[in-house]
Amino acid sequence: MPSDVPSDRPTPAGEADDPYCLTEGEAARLLTGHPWRRFAVLGDSVAEGLGEPTPGYPPQPWAERIAVELRLLAPDMRYFNLGWRNTPAAAVRAGQLPEALAFRPDLALVACGGFDALRSGYDAEAVTAELRAIVAALREQGAQVLTVGMFDGSRSPLVPEQYREPLRERLHSLSARTAEVAAELGALHFDLTAHPASDRRDVYSSDGRHGSGRSHAIAAAAAVRRLGAHLGTGPAAG
């Protein structure tokens, strides 16, 4: 479990030296023979891919990185990112889900609830119900769905101390509930909340809310590895 104090360990010189990022050729090996040709992304700013650059890491949002790796093996694959900042889970279901279903994805990434969890009035039961409805609709249409427990942003050095514990509780609740929904509905889930990089200052942007270029690279690597576990080309998900 990451410590409560953000780490000051030096940032790797670049993505190629980062122990949490994809190694050369790893994505191609893990995704070889993948069946997906229509990849949709739904959610808030996490899905949209907001953040700021980290020297040595290409300035590419994590979902786009996943799409690039999938397309390298299937050039005809289509990618549709509906994610938008400041969007609560209820609005993702009401506004983005119909468009996603019309796109008819065979792979969908759902990354929402984070905007809700930033607010003190966070209603865990209501957000869970929205997540369940989103994932269920995509699964019923035949899409494989990928869900994520996001980095524990309460460890950002810019979060005032008095807000850390309440925010941590909400983010960990969201992560656990998202994992439960995924297990219930047969979706694929991967967890960044307890990731060893979650206590690193360098995975958070200077706005105290979003990720850095390094966080996007790490998140994309975790997602690709989860897909590889599903395909049987990588270690089984823990």
Q: What is residue 238's predicted lDDT score, i.e. its pLDDT? A: 56
More confident residue, 209 or 94: 94
10 secondary structure, DSSP code:
P
Residue 137 lies in a domain: yes
Paired sense of beta strands 107-111 and 144-149, if any? parallel
Range of the domain at 161: 15-231
Residue 219 lies in a domain: yes
Residue 31 lies in a domain: yes
Residue 6 lies in a domain: no
More confident residue, 129 or 9: 129
Helices 161-185 and 124-140 sit at what angle, rounded to 10 degrees? Answer: 30
Q: What is the pLDDT of residues 190-235, one digit of tens each?
A: 999 989 998 888 998 888 778 999 999 999 999 999 999 999 998 8
**Would the pLDDT of 1 be above 90?**
no
Q: What is residue 155's predicted lDDT score, i.e. its pLDDT? A: 84
pTM for the complete prediction? 0.92
**Would the pLDDT of 60 be above 90?**
yes
CB neighbour list of residue 100: distance below 8 Å, 6 or more residues apart: 40, 42, 80, 82, 108, 138
**Would the pLDDT of 142 be above 70?**
yes
Residue 236 lies in a domain: no
Residue 89 lies in a domain: yes
State in Å, rounded, how far the first CA of the chain is from the last one: 15
Q: pLDDT band at 156, cuts 50/70/90?
A: confident
Give the total number of structural domains in the chain: 1
Residue 63 lies in a domain: yes
CATH number of residue 204's parent domain: 3.40.50.1110
Residue 188 lies in a domain: yes
Q: What is residue 154's predicted lDDT score, i.e. its pLDDT? A: 85
